[in-house]
């Protein structure tokens, strides 16, 4: 056996690192029973018009079995507007919107899940938490500090495929490029990772809508994991209870 | 030490107290006069403050307060706070909401003046019986009024049971006889019309609703026993002067209804229907139903549907104010576009055999607090039609709102 074959033999396990296994590890390391943060969103449209919104996000459960309530706290005119997201392991999430001005929850009709959420660059689909098993993965490249992985959704999605960059050191997802049939749609960067309660967590997410040339920066404040939360606080009643 | 204590108290209060509000000026310009109204421009000013205080995680007190004025004598000019909000004119100061919410486990109870909304459709809600509206200054664009009630809600899994008891009656507020949103034929121009107020019924109202959320569908069944919040009018002719005195009355009403929403891959189907019976002699008995389709495409949202009615017993008197019936037998459509984080467009239309209505709105946010909304509404039709009677009420509007 010459030196060349030895090198190849050692390289094969590294390149054959199973992409799904990497994503499973990412999901495991991100696992928490609950999460809460206060988010500040700065939306800058293609013509440089800026607006700032704030919301409080709370989640119970994780990935395919989670429920989340997101409620705007600013600006004043949208304060109290809430969104309940019930994620399912086998299908797209159910979502209900609460608008205080109407005084009624409304089921969100989302045939086109690429619809932007409340003028931000997040689509409704981007707010869902999907389980690893809802995608097929392929390892495309080992780029030194990170892996580049292709993901294709098994269920209906606005995206045809996406490229994920996973940092090797802590298995952090650091970047996503999402493509539809026409090409690149959205670039999401996860930045400023910090270790919070044993979970490497980005403190900033930047979403760039390629088509609209619009950008949303979400800053996470007062972020906490595994807080005691009750399932009953993630219901339609809870959605309409608060101001 | 005192400063530290005060700071601590303020911090505590800050965490438990939430508020929002706005002040809005809305100007409506009517190119045409009406037989009972010569004004071309009406200006309305509204200050609304909503606040809640969470005493404990399970007990919250919520309140909302309105202060308003206008240029067209639609508001009482009196320094009195109205807690019932059931006067013929709008009160200058009113308690819109004042309620205590208690929730423990799967049960939520809300007691006091509050808003209760039933139904799933967006173009018309036949089952929405605890939601009177204020039609005084606009029949095609109205706001909801609160009701004083006790509401008990039990939610478990995908089931929600809602029980409501309303100890006293809250009517919808109707247009004034001497203003344009009371549609009068030209022949009535010479008559003296006297508004004799309302005979508010005593007794309580109650209702129950069961809502079930399943996998890929949602439906509810409901029951209501009480009064119609839209009035019939008793008219008395007083000779020798040709004057007519009108008094509002509110017939008994019992409702059996339901609604459903089914999201499909290409669109969402929503339906809502109710059958109304009445023990009041001469009151109409009828069914109202709505079927609507919704579709979201990028930043566009589309809603289109048909609202229908079937009368099983005719009313003895034609003098009714019934916008819910007026929008029945109509094709209704809405489209909305979110242009960006600050700007939006909306288009709404209702088309009946003898009348139609189209409204267009453009809205823009300036900075964090100011929003301007400009609109155009075009109403056409025959005088005998519910929409057509307002054919001289096409208007342009401009609303400027400061939210805080």
pLDDT per residue of chain B (404 residues) written in tens, 0 to 9: 445 566 555 555 555 899 999 999 999 999 999 988 999 999 999 999 999 999 998 999 999 999 999 999 999 998 899 988 999 999 999 999 999 999 999 999 999 999 999 999 988 999 999 999 999 999 999 999 999 999 999 999 889 999 999 999 999 999 999 999 998 777 776 778 899 999 999 999 999 999 999 888 999 999 999 999 999 999 888 877 778 899 999 999 999 999 999 988 889 999 999 999 999 998 999 999 999 999 988 889 999 999 999 999 988 777 889 999 888 899 999 999 988 888 999 999 999 989 999 999 999 999 889 999 999 999 999 988 999 999 999 999 999 999 99
- The tokens for B378 are 């075009």
Instruction: Tell me, yes or no, whether A27 lies in a domain.
Output: yes
Residues from chain B that touch A51, judged by Cβ atoms under 8 A, are: 341-342, 365, 368
Structure confidence at residue B15 (pLDDT): 59
A151 has pLDDT over 70: yes
Task: Check CB contact under 8 Å for A111 and B299.
Answer: no
- Cα distances from B84 to residues B97, B145, B250, in angstroms, run 10, 10, 17
Question: What residue has token string 């797209």?
Answer: A92
**Domain CATH number, residue A48:** 2.50.20.10
DSSP, residue by residue, B313-365: E--S---B--HHHHTSSEEEEEEEEE-SSSEEEEEEEEE-SSEEEEEEEEEEE
* Inter-residue contact A15 to A139 (CB < 8 Å): yes
Our CA-based measurement puts residue A149 at a distance from the nearest CA of chain B, in whole angstroms, of 28
* Inter-residue contact B289 to B272 (CB < 8 Å): yes
A5 has pLDDT over 50: no
Residues from chain B that touch A120, judged by Cβ atoms under 8 A, are: 341
Our CA-based measurement puts residue B402 at a distance from the nearest CA of chain A, in whole angstroms, of 8
Instruction: Tell me, yes or no, whether A162 lies in a domain.
Output: yes
Nearest to A130 by CA among A63, A206, A212, A175: A63
Structure confidence at residue A12 (pLDDT): 39
Instruction: Tell me, yes or no, whether A25 lies in a domain.
Output: yes
Beta strands B243-249 and B192-198: pairing type?
Answer: parallel
Q: Could you say which DSSP state residue A209 is in?
A: E
- Cα distances from B261 to residues A22, A184, A187, B290, B295, in angstroms, run 40, 34, 34, 12, 13
* Inter-residue contact B211 to B175 (CB < 8 Å): no
Our CA-based measurement puts residue B354 at a distance from the nearest CA of chain A, in whole angstroms, of 30
Cα–Cα distance measured from residue B216 to residue B218, given in angstroms and rounded to the nearest whole number:
7
Structure confidence at residue A65 (pLDDT): 84
Instruction: Tell me, yes or no, whether A1 lies in a domain.
Output: no
Cα–Cα distance measured from residue B358 to residue A62, given in angstroms and rounded to the nearest whole number:
46
Is B364 at the interface with chain A, CB within 8 A? no
Is B346 at the interface with chain A, CB within 8 A? no
What is the phi-psi region of residue B10: left when phi exceeds 0, alpha when psi lies from -120 to 50, beta otherwise?
alpha
Structure confidence at residue A133 (pLDDT): 84
- The tokens for B122 are 């967006």
Question: Which residues on adjacent β-strands are paired with residue B247?
Answer: B234
Instruction: Tell me, yes or no, whether A11 lies in a domain.
Output: no
Residues from chain A that touch B295, judged by Cβ atoms under 8 A, are: 109, 111-112
Cα–Cα distance measured from residue A118 to residue A52, given in angstroms and rounded to the nearest whole number:
12
Nearest to B395 by CA among B102, B196, B141: B141
Question: Which residues on adjacent β-strands are paired with residue A42?
Answer: A52, A217
Cα–Cα distance measured from residue B219 to residue B209, given in angstroms and rounded to the nearest whole number:
10
Cα–Cα distance measured from residue B207 to residue B166, given in angstroms and rounded to the nearest whole number:
9
Is B159 at the interface with chain A, CB within 8 A? no
Helices vs. strands in chain A: H and E counts, helices first: 3, 13
Residues from chain A that touch B116, judged by Cβ atoms under 8 A, are: 103
Structure confidence at residue B11 (pLDDT): 54
* Inter-residue contact B240 to B195 (CB < 8 Å): no
pTM assigned to the model: 0.88
Cα–Cα distance measured from residue B369 to residue B385, given in angstroms and rounded to the nearest whole number:
41
Residue ranges of B 240-269 with Cβ closer than 8 A to chain A? 261, 263-268
- The tokens for B35 are 């037989």
Instruction: Quote the number of domains for chain A.
Output: 1
Task: Check CB contact under 8 Å for A243 and B18.
Answer: yes
What is the tens place of the pLDDT at every residue in B277-297? 999 998 999 999 999 999 988
Domains along the sequence of chain B with CATH: 18-403 (2.40.160.100)
- The tokens for B229 are 């919040």
Instruction: Tell me, yes or no, whether A197 lies in a domain.
Output: yes
Question: Which residues on adjacent β-strands are paired with residue A149?
Answer: A139, A164
ω into A181 cis (within 30 of 0): no
Name residues whose C-beta falls within 8 Å of residue A155's C-beta, 6 or more positions apart in sequence: A90, A91, A92, A134
Residues from chain A that touch B24, judged by Cβ atoms under 8 A, are: none
Instruction: Tell me, yes or no, whether A6 lies in a domain.
Output: no
Instruction: Tell me, yes or no, whether A3 lies in a domain.
Output: no
Residue A21 C-alpha from the chain's centroid: 19
Closest B-chain CA to A44: B341
What is the tens place of the pLDDT at every residue in A28-85? 999 999 999 999 999 998 888 888 999 999 999 987 789 999 999 999 888 999 999 9
Closest A-chain CA to B341: A119
Structure confidence at residue B9 (pLDDT): 58
- The tokens for A42 are 């700065």
Residue-wise burial string across B244-275, b where 16 or more C-beta atoms lie within 10 A, e elsewhere:
bbbbbbbbbbebebbbbbebeeebbbbbbbbb
Question: What residue has token string 């009535």?
Answer: B188
Residues from chain B that touch A77, judged by Cβ atoms under 8 A, are: 22, 365, 369, 371, 401, 403
Structure confidence at residue A63 (pLDDT): 76
First to last CA, chain A: 73
What is the tens place of the pLDDT at every residue in A74-130? 998 889 999 999 988 877 788 898 988 888 888 886 676 788 888 899 988 888 877
Range of the domain at A191: 18-241
Structure confidence at residue B8 (pLDDT): 56
* Inter-residue contact B86 to B151 (CB < 8 Å): no
Is B349 at the interface with chain A, CB within 8 A? no
Question: What residue has token string 């007190």?
Answer: B61
Residues from chain A that touch B50, judged by Cβ atoms under 8 A, are: 100, 243
Band the pLDDT of A20: cuts 50, 70, 90: very high
What is the tens place of the pLDDT at every residue in B76-101? 998 899 988 999 999 999 999 999 99
Task: Check CB contact under 8 Å for B155 and A76.
Answer: no
């Amino acid at each position: 056996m010459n030196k060349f074959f030895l090198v190849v033999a050692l390289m094969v396990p590294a390149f054959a690192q199973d992409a799904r296994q990497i994503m499973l590890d990412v999901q495991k390391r991100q696992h928490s029973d609950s999460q809460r943060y206060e988010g500040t969103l700065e939306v800058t449209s293609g013509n440089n018009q800026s607006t700032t919104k704030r919301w409080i996000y709370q989640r119970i459960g994780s990935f395919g079995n989670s429920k989340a309530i997101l409620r705007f706290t600013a600006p004043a005119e949208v304060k109290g507007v809430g969104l309940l997201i019930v994620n399912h392991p086998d299908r797209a999430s159910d979502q209900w919107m609460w608008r205080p001005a109407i005084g009624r929850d409304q089921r969100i009709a989302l045939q086109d899940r690429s619809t932007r959420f409340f003028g931000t660059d997040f689509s409704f689909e981007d707010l869902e938490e999907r389980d690893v098993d809802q995608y097929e993965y392929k390892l495309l490249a080992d780029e030194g500090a990170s892996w580049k992985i292709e993901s294709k959704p098994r269920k209906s999605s606005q995206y045809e495929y996406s490229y994920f960059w996973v940092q090797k050191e802590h298995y952090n997802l650091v970047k996503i490029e999402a493509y539809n049939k026409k090409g690149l749609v959205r670039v999401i960067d996860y930045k400023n990772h910090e270790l919070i309660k044993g979970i490497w967590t980005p403190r900033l997410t930047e979403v760039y809508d390629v088509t609209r040339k619009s950008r949303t920066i979400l800053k996470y404040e007062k972020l906490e994991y595994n807080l005691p939360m009750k399932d009953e606080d993630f219901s339609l009643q809870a959605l309409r209870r608060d101001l | 030490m005192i400063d530290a204590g005060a700071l601590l108290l303020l911090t505590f209060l800050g965490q438990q107290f939430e508020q929002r509000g706005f002040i809005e000026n809305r100007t409506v310009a009517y190119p045409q006069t009406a037989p009972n109204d010569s004004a071309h421009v009406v200006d309305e000013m509204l200050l609304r403050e909503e606040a809640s205080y969470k005493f404990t995680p399970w007990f919250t007190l919520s309140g909302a307060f309105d202060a308003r004025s206008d240029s067209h004598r639609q508001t009482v000019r009196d320094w009195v706070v109205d807690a019932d909000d059931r006067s013929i004119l709008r009160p200058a100061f009113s308690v819109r909401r004042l309620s205590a919410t208690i929730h423990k486990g799967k049960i939520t109870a809300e007691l006091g003046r509050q808003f209760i909304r039933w139904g799933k459709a967006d173009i018309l809600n036949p089952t929405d019986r605890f939601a009177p509206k204020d039609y005084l200054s606009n029949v095609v664009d109205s706001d909801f009024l609160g009701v004083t009630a006790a509401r008990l809600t039990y939610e478990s899994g995908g089931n929600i049971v809602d029980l409501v008891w309303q100890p006293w009656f809250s009517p919808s507020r109707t247009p004034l006889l001497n203003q344009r949103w009371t549609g009068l034929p030209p022949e009535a121009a010479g008559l003296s019309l006297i508004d004799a107020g309302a005979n508010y019924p005593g007794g309580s109202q109650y209702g129950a609703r069961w809502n079930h959320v399943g996998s890929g569908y949602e439906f509810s069944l409901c029951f209501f026993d009480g009064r119609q919040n839209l009035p019939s009018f008793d008219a008395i002719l007083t000779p020798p002067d040709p004057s007519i005195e009108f008094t509002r009355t509110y017939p008994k009403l019992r409702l059996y209804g339901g609604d459903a929403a089914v999201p499909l891959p290409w669109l969402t189907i929503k339906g809502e229907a109710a059958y109304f019976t009445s023990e009041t002699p001469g009151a109409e008995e009828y069914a109202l139903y709505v079927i609507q389709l919704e579709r979201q495409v990028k930043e566009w949202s589309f809603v289109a549907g048909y609202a229908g009615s079937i009368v099983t017993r005719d009313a003895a008197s034609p003098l009714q104010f019934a916008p819910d019936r007026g929008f029945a037998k109509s094709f209704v459509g809405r489209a909305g576009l979110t242009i960006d984080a600050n700007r939006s467009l909306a288009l709404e239309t209702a088309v009946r055999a003898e009348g139609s209505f189209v409204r267009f709105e453009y809205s823009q946010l300036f900075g964090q607090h100011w929003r301007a909304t400009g609109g155009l509404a075009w109403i056409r039709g025959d005088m005998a039609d519910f929409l057509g009677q307002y054919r001289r009420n096409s208007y342009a509007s401009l609303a400027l709102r400061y939210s805080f």
